[in-house]
């Protein structure tokens, strides 16, 4: 595409101008978490993705602390990394419903998608598939109604490159599923 | 490089709604280095041919 003199993005057709990125905060104590969040806010970031999934009660407390400490300063996303049971997920949703949480990523183990059917359509729309989504074949399975997820997490490293990612994105688009791209930041 | 590739793919999809920089990084380091820009938390690829990155 360098020979054509156009960018990869222009080759496919640009649909999005710019989006705000979240930055990821690992599982750490409240004080460290707040310090890290302050640093990100100073750099201009306005969305935090918080790793959770080890202890649901501690997770609920952490998102409440962040919400109170940074009221209206950050939107929150939660990555539970397959760490919850259905009951724990329901507890998390129940106790955080008044907070600005955009979505919850991979709350249950991949393969447990049928358990989501006990959740409402609105609740499922706010769940994002990570480990449940490996390639275009699994993407297609996840579009069978009733759909367990409303969001697909796409990582180029996971699915195998731009072409594979585009296949998943087309499947998602036709099922009215939104995309969440995770771009790995490596500082050498 | 992987960030830029992901951004190009992401912004070519109409249903892209969220992006995330995975992993923490040293806050003191310059985050912007070829391929894309990051301003006030918004990410934008540059408009140069290919992925807009140069071989060093």
Nearest CA in chain B to A172: B15
In a domain, A129, yes or no: yes
**What is the domain count for chain A?**
2
Q: Which residues of B touch A103 (CB under 8 A)?
A: 18
Read off φ and ψ for residue B26, nearest 5 degrees.
Answer: -70, 120
Do A169 and A117 share a structural domain?
Answer: yes
Does the distance separating the beta carbons of A19 and B18 come in below 8 Å?
yes
- End position of a domain, from candidates A41, A62, A82: A82
**Which residues are bridge partners to A71 per DSSP?**
none
Query: Which residue among B13, B41, B51 sits closest to A45, beta carbon to beta carbon?
Result: B41
**Predicted local confidence at residue B22, as pLDDT:** 73
Query: Residue A105 domain-assigned?
Result: no
* A69 and A131 together in one domain: no
Q: From the CB of residue B4, how many other CB atoms can be counted at a distance below 10 Å?
A: 23
pLDDT mean for each 10 residues of chain A (188 residues)? 80 93 90 94 94 96 95 94 97 96 98 94 97 96 96 92 95 98 72
pTM of structure = 0.91
A126 and A186, same domain (yes or no): yes
Q: What is the CATH classification number for the domain harbouring A146?
A: 3.20.20.120
Cis peptide, bond prior to residue A166, ω within 30 of zero: no
Within-domain flag for A93 = no
Is residue A96 in some structural domain?
no
A116 and A48 share one domain? no
Cβ contact B18–A103 (<8 Å): yes
Q: Are residues A117 and A188 in the same domain?
A: yes
Q: What is the ipTM of this complex?
A: 0.91
The pLDDT score that the predictor gives to residue A53 is 94
A104 is a domain residue: no
Residues A118 and A76 in one domain: no
The reported pLDDT for the residue numbered A188 is 44
Looking at the fold, whether A75 and A121 belong to one and the same domain comes out as no
Run of H or E including A61: helix A56-69
**Same domain, yes or no: A69 and A117:** no
Residues of A65-78 as b/e, b for ≥16 C-beta within 10 angstroms? ebbeebeeebbbbb
Q: Do A75 and A115 fall within a single domain?
A: no
Structural domain for A165, as ranges: 110-188
């Amino acid at each position: 595409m360098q020979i054509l003199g156009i960018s990869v993005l222009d080759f496919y057709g640009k649909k999005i101008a710019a989006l705000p990125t979240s930055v990821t905060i690992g599982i750490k104590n409240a004080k460290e978490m707040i310090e890290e969040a302050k640093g990100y806010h100073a750099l201009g970031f306005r969305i935090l993705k918080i790793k959770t999934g080890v202890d649901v009660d501690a997770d609920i407390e952490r998102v409440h602390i962040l919400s109170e400490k940074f009221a209206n300063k950050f939107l929150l996303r939660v990555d539970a990394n397959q760490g919850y049971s259905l009951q724990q997920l329901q507890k998390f949703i129940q106790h955080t419903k008044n907070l600005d949480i955009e979505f919850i990523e991979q709350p249950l183990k991949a393969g447990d998608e049928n358990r989501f059917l006990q959740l409402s359509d609105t609740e499922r729309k706010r769940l994002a598939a990570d480990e449940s989504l490996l390639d275009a074949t699994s993407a297609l399975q996840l579009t069978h109604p009733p759909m367990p997820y409303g969001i697909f997490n796409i990582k180029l490293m996971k699915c195998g490159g731009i072409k594979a990612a585009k296949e998943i994105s087309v499947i998602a688009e036709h099922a009215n599923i939104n995309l969440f791209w995770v771009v790995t930041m490596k500082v050498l | 490089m992987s960030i830029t590739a992901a951004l190009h793919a992401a912004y070519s999809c109409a249903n892209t709604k969220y992006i995330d920089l995975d992993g923490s990084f040293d806050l003191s380091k310059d985050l912007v280095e070829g391929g894309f820009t990051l301003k006030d938390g918004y990410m934008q690829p540059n408009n140069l041919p290919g992925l807009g990155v140069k071989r060093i």
